[in-house]
Amino acid sequence: MRLLDPVFDSMLTPRERKTLTVRVEQIADGHELFDSDIIESGSTWLRWAVFGEDGGSGSLQLAQGTREMVLSVQSDLQDFLAETTFASGELREPSDLA
């Protein structure tokens, strides 16, 4: 999901970015997907961790187009950051990525 690297680069500090782990999972069973796997719209989501705090996106709606998916993940990341112990209550202004 290199497509989403600009989202993480623009919204996380360099220290946060260094600790970021991201994986794509099937919603139904949590099975991790890899670059060679086919991602079906609505059946997968992103799970991430920053400084050991877990978060993630809603289902990836690929059928709505790349722009909408990126904006959705961006919104979910903002919600996650606002609820973390390291960025509690912060409103991060993302770059215009779409």
Residue ranges for the chain with pLDDT beneath 70? 1, 94-98
Q: Is 71 a domain residue?
A: yes
pLDDT at 33: 94
Q: Is 79 a domain residue?
A: yes
Q: Global pTM?
A: 0.88
Backbone φ and ψ for 24, nearest 5 degrees, come out as -105, 130
Q: Is 97 a domain residue?
A: no
| Vertex 72 angle, CA 92 and 70, to 5° | 90
The total number of structural domains in the chain stands at: 1
pLDDT at 92: 82
> What range does the domain containing 24 cover?
2-83
Q: Is 13 a domain residue?
A: yes
3-state SS assignment for residue 95: coil
CA end-to-end distance (rounded Å), the chain:
15
Q: Are the beta carbons of 22 and 88 closer than 8 angstroms?
A: no
